[in-house]
Amino acid sequence: MATTVRHTATLALAYALSAAERGLPVFPLSPGKLPALRSPHRGEPEPVLCRGECGRPGHGVHDATTDPARVRALFAAAPWATGYGIACGRPPHQLIGIDLDVGPAAGAAASGPARGPHRDPHRDPHRDPHRDPLRGPAPDSVAALQHLAFQHLFTLPETVVVLTPSGGRHLWLTGPPGAVVPNSAGRLAPGIDVRGAGGYLVGPGSVTARGAYRLAPGSAGLAPAPCPRALLRLLTPPARPRHAQDRPARGHGLVQFVLAAHEGQRNTRLFWAACRAYEHGFGDALAAELVDAAVRTGLDEHEARATIASAARLTAGP
């Protein structure tokens, strides 16, 4: 068993180094798909919102690097790592991950041959099926993405596709310099998660507790393709006018939401409000007001700060 674990860890490092050579920032993952290295700030009396400024490893996606020496050092510090994460939204690729989950209806579609005789009359019979990013059983998320493509007049390009152990797939796309695509879960459509700035994808060749991630047939020779402009517009929230009162007004609403909490819902409301604040880019600026509001409802200050720190970590990654 120990030999198998060492072999898996060695392969994970090899795959990670190969990805780093292609300009993809990587870091080690545990079998649970979480960062393999624990935070160096664990056990400190106050939650710390450090993203690697301290210079020590253990900051998850913020550890990601393309430097081979640093990659080796990270994996040496985490010999139990069986996979690697690829940071999204970082140059030179500005990687965007479209995570198509398997919906409840997908199991039946994937398990039986009932779909076999059916042919899409609009599909080109001469097209290489391995180069179709949406080929295969059509769970709800795939159908939703196909609908979006039809509705907004874009075609998904031939690109890297990674098959997940659950039967889903990750589509890799690249964004233009300066474009910031936020992470989201189900915002684009049910079952479609987006990995952008601050998020990460599990790299192909990784082995997790649920199985291995692998490149789809035909993907090995491909590079991530540019994201279609129409899709990029859907992924990127529209810029809001920067009025002086804009941020305080939105922050005020979240603070009032926390203040209205009753016993039994205080922590839940605080967590929800903190997530919304970090998703909109002003979580750090509003943290003190949210803590004060939570304390006024009867929540312990240390617990409130820990809840906000959890919201910051969640919105920074999957």
DSSP E strands: which ranges in the chain? 26-29, 83-87, 95-100, 161-163, 169-174, 184-189, 192-195, 200-202, 207-208, 211-212, 214-215, 225-226
What pLDDT is attached to residue 135? 59
Nearest to 155 by CA among 187, 195, 127, 181: 127
What CA–CA distance (Å, rounded) separates 37 from 79? Answer: 10
DSSP E strands: which ranges in 147-255? 161-163, 169-174, 184-189, 192-195, 200-202, 207-208, 211-212, 214-215, 225-226
| pLDDT digits (tens), the chain, 318 positions | 455 667 788 899 999 999 999 999 999 999 999 999 988 888 776 666 788 888 899 999 999 999 999 999 999 999 999 999 999 999 999 999 999 987 543 333 333 333 333 333 333 333 444 456 665 544 588 889 999 999 999 999 999 999 999 999 999 999 998 888 998 888 888 889 999 998 999 999 999 999 999 999 999 889 999 999 999 999 987 655 444 344 455 688 888 888 888 877 888 889 888 888 888 888 888 888 898 888 888 888 888 888 898 888 777 754
Assigned token pair, 129? 């099926």
What CA–CA distance (Å, rounded) separates 192 from 99? Answer: 6
What CA–CA distance (Å, rounded) separates 66 from 70? Answer: 8
What CA–CA distance (Å, rounded) separates 233 from 228? Answer: 9
Q: Which domains does the chain have, with CATH numbers?
A: 2-85 (no CATH), 95-111+127-235 (3.30.2250), 246-315 (no CATH)
User: Tokens 């020496």 correspond to what residue?
Assistant: 69
Write b or e for each residue in 284-313: b if 16 or more Cβ atoms lie within 10 A of its Cβ, otherwise e.
eebbebbbebbbebebeeeebbebbbbbbe
What CA–CA distance (Å, rounded) separates 203 from 214? Answer: 8
What pLDDT is attached to residue 125? 36
What pLDDT is attached to residue 71? 97
Q: Which amino acid is at 168?
A: G
Q: Which amino acid is at 260?
A: A
